[in-house]
Structure 1
Amino acid sequence: MSTLQPGAKAPSIFGNRFLQTILLSNILLQIGIWVRNFAILYYVAEKTSNNAYAISFIYVAEYAPIFIFSFIGGTLADRWRPRRTMIWCDLLSAISVFVVLLAIHFGSWQSVFLVTLISAILSQFSQPSGMKLFKQHIPEAQMQQGMALFQSLIAIFMVLGPMLGTFAYYRFGLESSIAVMGVAFLLSALVLVRLPKDAVEQKPPLEKGQFRKELNEGFRYVWQSPVLRILGLVFILAGLAVGIAQALNLFIVTERLGKTEEFLQYMLMVNGAAMLIGGGVVAAFAKKVAPQLLLAVGMIVGAVCTVIVGFSTSVPVTLVTQFVNGLVFPCIHIGISTMMLKWSHESIVGRVSGVLNPMFIGMMVISMLFAGALKDAFSLVAIYAGAGILFVLGALSLMTIMGHKAPETASSGEQGAAPEPHMH
């Protein structure tokens, strides 16, 4: 649903005040997150002499809350006012950063893990609220373009983020880097004040068992929609593949390419630069292509690139493959996000996001945890070939829903889709 009146012409996507505000907020958040990630990574590596368990705990602190809190955050996002939720989450993140900063200053260096943990938890309440507002304020015809702009923003920071984080830490140190994150979150909260005020929906207070009932409605809604059910399967397969590849990228650099660890940042930057170009290309033709097809193309090309990266011992071949992979990655992100929004009724979109996202993150965390054991048991070539097969299986599962059209109201227009949930 959008806020446009019937028959009214949609303004240009760039002229949409809601999108301008959300993009500016996201730029600030991305600055804070990248500076935080690299500052904490370098600091913990320095403090623990590159202890693998301490370094992996940074990723656990970042991803585990997504898996644990996404269900809860998605359900509450459908009850709470989304604009107010997002502002409060950014404010609380900023406050928590400054509290942890005091703890670090007075000698408790282990508190750095809390910075990541708290902001990761709060983002699980903020993100579904953002999806709900996106559904309200972006016209249906511009939804895929809007998602492409978000993808481009993420890609820009995949190029700039590592440089920004490295510069901040080595130039100013840990405490200043963490403070940058606190200020960025504070500024984001101020920017979000520009968003249109929430429509006041009269919802009765939660009765005993009501929260669980509404949470179950989210699972039931996904299960009863053929499209969302297949999307869940794609999330699981892609999560397993991405987790393995991400956890072992460093060994591709050192063992397959014979380079030092620092070379990993160049691989990430090539990938990010390609994602930026790919996001722009996909934004240009996104409206003309079904999101299922976009996602399937992204998965198949991702499969081929993953296998080549595992086999390659040539730096140019690996970098070109990373570039191609980055070019098509926006197809995966935009396809998934568009399908989630188009096949979910506005009243339940937070819960649909809360059910599907943990499937991807959960599988990613599981495959990251087992990546070390897999590496002991199999060669990198075999592991990356296996990850490629997982992508192919995801693409094949999408063939069953290629002909499905998004329902007009994303409630009961699609055969087999769940009815609009009743908010008691």
Structure 2
Amino acid sequence: MFKNRYVRTILLSRVLLQLGIWIRNFAILLYISDITHNNPQYLSLISIVETAPIFIFAFIGGTFADRWQPKRTMVWSDLLSAATVFLVLLTLLSGSWYALLIGTFISASLSQFSQPSAMKLYKKNVPAEHLQGVMAMSQSLVAIFMVLGPVMGTFIYLNYGVEASLILTGVMFFGSSIVLMFLPKDEMEEAASGAPHFLKELKAGLHYVYTNRALRTLSLTFGVTGLAAGLIQPLALFIAVEKLELSKQSLQWFLMANGAAMLIGGTVIMGIAKKVNPQVLLATGLLVSAVCTIGVGASTLVSVTLILQIVSGLFYPCIHVGIQTLIMRNTEGPFIGRVGGAITPIFMGMMLVGMSFSGYLKDMTSLLTVYVLSGALLIAGVVLLNPLLGRNQQKANQQAM
């Protein structure tokens, strides 16, 4: 896989982007926390400006990604992100910190145009048998920065301040755009930016997802998985404080163990990518996550909870890699941006719905009940996968004959 020029270049670009994003996010979080004295309303705005672009621009960005030349789209997105960071820095030096939120929103919005373009290049230039391995590498990269990102971001901010953090962020974004310039030139047939009827293309993307049985199934599974994740995400702190009777600070160790396990899991998947069907990978990940989720909600022992977090982290990449691979394999090249832009917001939307109700459900029932409900939803996701699992079994029987 690393012999593929597209894979090497895009992954290196993503390393620089992840560095910039984590440095920026923690600099903003800690800086606003300092100057507002931990005002929860201002701190909540950070999450809003980071996630809102997914709802607003994911499908629009995916549609444009299908129309525009992918290399040029990615290069310009990163260049504009870098320019935005330096403009925010100038505004911050003049005394206005609100520009931090605006700059984050713009940068997150630009990524909704860049990410589908990367998927488009993978779809066109990576052999089908290697797609699952490439998705595993991408997941491993995310896991690495889930572990290292908070540490690096916090260290840079505490030692050098918000200005240095923003300068480094801008340099990383600019460096990513330079790396992407080494990609081969876009083919002329991919330049569809002049095509008319943008709204028709957008509607065609939605119709494509609706009429594709595999994509419909994945959308439902993704939605249920997002709801399950949202129900328990705000309650992780209560597991540490109420169930295990630990301090708030102890939560970071569970998160780091989970992130490290995700890295190992992604590495293992890279090694077995050609041997395991993505449907089976996804179903396995959902089932193991369901068992671990219920176990965490029931456990009162630190050792048991830690082991369950590690096991959950090991198998979480199965979910991400399985879904991404199935999307890539069941989507035609001209629709890859719109399909990704349509399905990703489903997960985020349902996750926010779950987060909105998790606190109320905990108060009305119990912490264990919410975790059991989350586990049950993950099992429901496996049930929804039956059409794809059945098709996989049918193909296996045909090959055996």
Could you say which TM-score interval applies, normalised by the shorter chain?
Answer: over 0.9
- Cα displacement (A) at 1:284: 1.1
272, 276, 293: which is aligned to 2:280? 293
Distance 1:55 1:204 in 2: 38
385, 390, 398: which is aligned to 2:385? 398
Residue 106, structure 1, aligned to residue 94, structure 2: yes
Residue 117, structure 1, aligned to residue 105, structure 2: yes
1:302-313 aligned within 5 A:
302-313=289-300
> What is the aligned partner in structure 2 of residue 184 from structure 1?
172
Residue 147, structure 1, aligned to residue 135, structure 2: yes
| Unaligned 5+ runs, structure 1 | 1-12, 407-424
- Cα displacement (A) at 1:29: 0.7
What is the TM-score normalised by the length of structure 1? Answer: 0.89
247, 252, 266: which is aligned to 1:265? 252
Residue 68, structure 1, aligned to residue 66, structure 2: no
Question: 1:204–1:353: structure 2 CA closer, same or farther, 3 Å change rule?
Answer: closer
Q: For 1:49-104, what per-residue CA distance to the aligned partner results, in whole angstroms no more than 9, with x for missing partners?
A: 33333222211111111011111001111000000000000010111111111122
89, 103, 127: which is aligned to 2:77? 89
Distance 2:308 2:281 in 1: 19
- Does the residue aligned with 1:404 lie in a helix, a strand or coil? helix
- Cα displacement (A) at 1:404: 2.8
Q: Looking at secondary structure, tell me which structure has more helix per residue.
A: 2
- Does the residue aligned with 1:173 lie in a helix, a strand or coil? helix
Residue 356, structure 1, aligned to residue 304, structure 2: no
1:145-224 aligned within 5 A:
145-201=133-189, 203=192, 205-207=194-196, 210-224=197-211
267, 271, 290: which is aligned to 1:280? 267
One-letter amino acid matched to 1:125? F
- Cα displacement (A) at 1:374: 3.2
11, 19, 26: which is aligned to 1:31? 19
One-letter amino acid matched to 2:365? F
- Cα displacement (A) at 1:229: 0.4
One-letter amino acid matched to 2:213? P
- Cα displacement (A) at 1:405: 5.6
- Cα displacement (A) at 1:206: 4.3
What is the TM-score normalised by the length of structure 2? Answer: 0.94
Question: 1:377–1:143: structure 2 CA closer, same or farther, 3 Å change rule?
Answer: same
Residue 233, structure 1, aligned to residue 210, structure 2: no
| Unaligned 5+ runs, structure 2 | 394-401
Distance 2:96 2:326 in 1: 45
Kept after mapping to 1: 8 A contact 2:205/2:339: yes
| Further displaced range: 247-256 or 390-399 | 247-256
Kept after mapping to 1: 8 A contact 2:136/2:270: yes
- Does the residue aligned with 1:194 lie in a helix, a strand or coil? coil
Distance 2:55 2:360 in 1: 22
Q: For 1:98-121, what per-residue CA distance to the aligned partner results, in whole angstroms no more than 9, with x for missing partners?
A: 111112222112222223211110
Kept after mapping to 1: 8 A contact 2:64/2:193: no
Distance 1:44 1:255 in 2: 29
Q: For 1:298-355, what per-residue CA distance to the aligned partner results, in whole angstroms no more than 9, with x for missing partners?
A: 0111111111222223222221111101100110011011000000000111111111
Question: 1:232–1:101: structure 2 CA closer, same or farther, 3 Å change rule?
Answer: same
One-letter amino acid matched to 1:288? K
Distance 1:374 1:196 in 2: 52
One-letter amino acid matched to 1:58? I
One-letter amino acid matched to 1:197? K
Question: 1:160–1:136: structure 2 CA closer, same or farther, 3 Å change rule?
Answer: same
Residue 323, structure 1, aligned to residue 271, structure 2: no
Question: 1:178–1:251: structure 2 CA closer, same or farther, 3 Å change rule?
Answer: farther
> Would you say how many aligned residue pairs link Structure 1 and Structure 2?
392
One-letter amino acid matched to 1:333? H
- Does the residue aligned with 2:184 lie in a helix, a strand or coil? coil
| Further displaced range: 23-32 or 157-166 | 157-166
One-letter amino acid matched to 2:187? A
Distance 2:192 2:100 in 1: 39
> What is the aligned partner in structure 1 of residue 328 from structure 2?
341
Kept after mapping to 2: 8 A contact 1:31/1:161: yes
Kept after mapping to 2: 8 A contact 1:147/1:334: yes
1:44-59 aligned within 5 A:
44-59=32-47
Question: 1:199–1:40: structure 2 CA closer, same or farther, 3 Å change rule?
Answer: same
Q: Report % sequence identity.
A: 52
Residue 255, structure 1, aligned to residue 242, structure 2: yes
Kept after mapping to 2: 8 A contact 1:152/1:280: yes
- Cα displacement (A) at 1:400: 2.0
CA RMSD of aligned residues (A): 1.7
- Does the residue aligned with 2:2 lie in a helix, a strand or coil? helix
> What is the aligned partner in structure 1 of residue 399 from structure 2?
none
Residue 78, structure 1, aligned to residue 66, structure 2: yes
